[in-house]
């Protein structure tokens, strides 16, 4: 049986493409990935509520283009704007801390 020495772990691939953890390049990748995921969550929730980008923008007193950029992960909303979006879409945001059991 032959082995394929060209197979790599996902972590190795990410390290190669975006730098090792802790590097500025990796941090930029992490932030862009986070912004994209947040945008997808907001977009999905908005569509489930049958609200247009324009309607959501009006509820928040922002431009429709701003909502579009957030949903596409181009920009990251401030914490206060993020919480206003969550509230407008009827979502909940929870902060919790995992407690280690000794």
Domain map (residue ranges) of the chain: 10-88
Q: Which long-range contacts (CB under 8 A, 24 or more apart) does 48-53 make?
A: 49/89, 49/90, 51/89
- pLDDT by residue for the chain (102 residues), tens only, comes to 555 666 578 888 888 888 888 899 999 999 999 999 999 999 999 999 999 999 999 999 999 999 999 999 999 999 999 999 999 999 998 889 888 887
Q: How far apart are CA 18 and CA 25, in angstroms?
A: 6
Cα 21 to Cα 95: distance, rounded to the nearest angstrom: 25
Pick the CATH number of 10-88 from 1.10.10.60, 1.10.10.10, 1.10.260.40, 3.90.550.10: 1.10.260.40
* pTM, full prediction: 0.76
């Amino acid at each position: 049986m032959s082995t394929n020495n060209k197979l790599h772990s996902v972590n190795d691939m990410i390290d190669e493409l975006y730098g090792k953890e802790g590097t500025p390049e990796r941090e930029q990748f992490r932030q862009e990935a986070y912004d994209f995921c947040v945008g997808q969550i907001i977009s999905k929730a908005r569509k489930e509520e049958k609200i247009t980008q324009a309607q959501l923008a009006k509820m928040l007193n922002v431009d429709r283009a701003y909502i579009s950029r957030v949903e596409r992960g181009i920009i990251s909303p401030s914490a206060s704007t993020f919480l206003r979006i969550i509230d407008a879409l009827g979502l909940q945001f929870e902060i919790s801390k995992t407690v280690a059991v000794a």
